[in-house]
Amino acid sequence: MLEWNLASDPFCCPHTPGGEARCVGALTIGEDIVRNVAYYVIAHAAKFVRPGSVRIYSDEQASLSNVAFVTPEGYIVLIALNDGAESRSFSIRFQGKNAVATLPASAVATYVWRAA
């Protein structure tokens, strides 16, 4: 998912021509400011994926999207999303080591470890 619009008005504008008219920004600005789901997505990712981080991997499998970054401090950050209706177990493999994780339905998790 790409969060391209930080703020929109109460009519979901602006959006790109031919783009999805239901997409809202991280904030909807009208008489009040409303924090939308994208606000929390960006805030969560920004807590772990700091400036200078580089994406090193991403894979979108059925009901389990994921992306990994290496931070300037040498940490690996893996964000995984299970948008399915059932829990999913998966393996995290790094430098010959494996860890098994289970992600509940409709959940996101962030895993952080030292690269070296």
| pLDDT over 70 (residue 7) | yes
| pLDDT attached to residue 73 | 95
Confidence label for 39 from pLDDT (cuts 50, 70 and 90) = confident
**Cα separation of 3 and 42, whole Å?**
8
What does the chain come to in residues? Answer: 116
Query: Once rounded to an integer, what is the mean pLDDT over residues 71-98?
Result: 93
CA-wise closest residue to 102 among 114, 94, 92: 92
Confidence label for 63 from pLDDT (cuts 50, 70 and 90) = low
| pLDDT over 80 (residue 21) | no
| pTM for this model (two decimals) | 0.77
| Token output for 102 | 């289970």
**Cα separation of 68 and 76, whole Å?**
7
